Amino acid sequence: MSKYALKQGVAIVTASNPPVNGLSRAVRQGLVQGLKQAQQDGAKSVVILGEGATFPAGADIKEFASGAWNDDPDLNQVFAQLDASDIPVVAAIHGNALGGGLETALSCNYRVALSSAKVGLPEVHLGILPGAGGTQRLPRVVGVEQALEMIGTGKPIGASVAHKLGIVDEIIEGKTADELLAGAIKFAESVSDKKPVPRISERTVEPVDDDVYVSARVKFAKIARGQEAPQKIVDAVRAAVESARFDAGLKEEARLFQELMDGSQSKAMQYMFFAERSCNKVPGIDSKKALEVKHVGVIGGGTMGRGIAMCFANKGIRVTLSETSEEALQGAKDAIEGLYKKSSAFRSGRMSEADVAARMELIEGTTDPEYKALAECDAVIEAVFENLDLKKKIFGQLGKICKESALLASNTSYLDIDEIAQASGRPEMFLGMHFFSPANVMPALENVRGSASSEVAIATAMNMGKRIGKTTMLAGNCFGFIGNRMFEPYTQAAIGLVEEGALPSQVDRVLGPQPGMFGMAMGPLAVLDLAGNDIGQRIRAESYYPHTAENVKGARGATGRLGQKTGAGWYKYEGRSASDDEAVNKLCDEHRENFGIPKRSNISDQEILERVLYPMINEGFRILEENIASRPSDIDVLYNAGYGFPRYRGGPMFYADLVGLDTVRDGLLRIHDANPELPHWHFQPAQLLEDLVASRTTLAEHWIQRLKSAK
């Protein structure tokens, strides 16, 4: 809804739809009614603002799913009335004017803002473009190049930059909503008699060379690989220049917007938007029970421990880093300082020497083998290498020394959380915290509940993830948890294809980020080379996933081909540049000869896609069957944030619904029938998958029904 008041002859129309004043149908109706009332009251000008924390921060995204965003009055109808008003309309911006919020402001005659405000058009992150005049009005204010940058990247800008660009007409001094309103009324009074009323729609756009559009397309193809929206944004902005009339440009924008809305990418990206906002909310866990964490202990100053320490120091949380010797401790601290100074934030000037020094001061050190310096920590995270006996020994000591309320956590990617928890003597305050490497960069955090983990422990761990800015979800305890359990059949299938005759580069090309391919950030074999194939061999030695491809990996490991760090793995490397290696082909030929495996030369891209993706998806269904994941969207968020699954495909479980569950099930059976020597477990459809196919129900529909029945 919107509220109306008349002050000093100025009509005040306030959007009221907490928490972000999304432009729902009720708000849209309120804006139209407020403008009409202002005209009836003879107001000399109008001020539009948002109640509470922000100016309307954008469209109400929930209406996209229901279709209510298109109900009368839609945004274009509202903005047409604002644009046609004979009474000057001033947008008074605080907080965030994003998407439909900025389009609202651009439809007004003037814009004022607090210096703390931000404006932007981030619709590209939802797989769409601004559909209510943003691609037509913004170029008329800032020019084509700046409009392409703002809309194509979706990055917001501050009020001062917006003022310099002409988006904001005046910066209002002050910090509060009351100060903004007072300044906006004063500004509205000052422009009430100016004629004609200025309208952005009546401005022209300065034409640019074709090179500007070409450069934008090339840039967006690199930074948003595989995504359709950035390319259509170029088309829409170009329409602002080339259309004979403003309304013709709006019509072209609407056509392009609808094309994107009807496509799978926007559905996937909007799904991910909501999934990311729900993953931290664990069913049955009261987040208010989280304990306050002011001091964190980190055991191990290696790659993972250093990154974890940085995560907490970055948020002003005191860290005590434990190492085995003074030399190792100093080496870890030096490495941390080096990482700060190599960061883009430091190199760009967003982080100063003083900022680095402040973070380093928060990181203390200890080499006490009894961990006495960690006794009063609120949480202790162990980050040593993946050795179960070593971890049990560490937590046996921590259980004796740490205060009773301390959260104890192991940064493990696959080990049994319950076995380590029992060694601590306090399993109710123990769980896993699987950070992804490098922990100071990767956004994902997979917390793992043990069978005895208390509500307090889980709530505390989830809150810790939120505080340090991680995309955090909760998994149950099993080998590999959610992420690595699914990653195992994915990589095993890729290796199996190489066994049969596919080149590593062919497998990685099909799954990777190249134009027209599936879109993973890296192909599976390149990932194995980056992680180090010795790590993979150690994990698989303790796995319950047998596969003949172990013979290939064993031969490769025996020759020292451990990945990037040795200059050779599935590829040979010059620096980080990878190329196919004839030595790998020779190893595979020898393996095929030894085991009587015929070499195939006809492995298609489609077969590679199905052979690699479907077993991973199948394992996801088993994970849901076993309640290892709370919901399908948690799996999808984890795979996007931790494993580079393309956001515009929505995650493995969303993708399964997209291609059709019957297609996935039939594909699994077809692959196994054609290749009976492949691991049966990987290609035997999960019972949940079979049940949904039989009932002709999507996974999304099934989960909605399950949630309803649980209430």
Phi, psi of 563 (to 5 degrees): 115, -155
Sign of CA dihedral 60, 61, 66, 68: positive
Q: Pseudo-torsion of CA 545, 551, 552, 555, nearest 10°?
A: 130
Relative orientation angle of helices 246-262 and 229-242, to the nearest 10 degrees: 170
Q: Pseudo-torsion of CA 699, 268, 286, 292, nearest 10°?
A: 140
Taking the C-alpha atoms of residue 501 and residue 550, their distance in angstroms, rounded to an integer, is 16
Q: Helix (H, G, I), strand (E, B), or coil: what is residue 121?
A: coil
Q: Which helix (H) or strand (E) holds 4?
A: strand 2-7
According to DSSP H, which parts of 112-209 are helical?
134-142, 144-153, 159-165, 177-191
Taking the C-alpha atoms of residue 511 and residue 616, their distance in angstroms, rounded to an integer, is 13
Taking the C-alpha atoms of residue 483 and residue 650, their distance in angstroms, rounded to an integer, is 15
Q: Which residues make beta-bridge pairs with 110?
A: 90
Identify whether 103 is a catalytic site residue: yes
Identify whether 123 is a catalytic site residue: yes
Which one from 51, 63, 123, 179 is the annotated catalytic residue? 123
> In the numeric block, which tokens belong to residue 358?
């402040």
Q: Which residues make beta-bridge pairs with 290?
A: none
List of long-range contacts for 302-305, beta carbons under 8 Å, 24+ apart: 302/332, 302/383, 302/384, 302/385, 303/437, 303/438, 304/383, 304/411, 304/435, 304/437, 304/439, 305/332, 305/383, 305/384, 305/411
Distances (CA, A) of 362 to 267, 309, 463: 43, 9, 20
Which one from 103, 488, 607, 610 is the annotated catalytic residue? 103
Q: Catalytic residue positions?
A: 103, 123
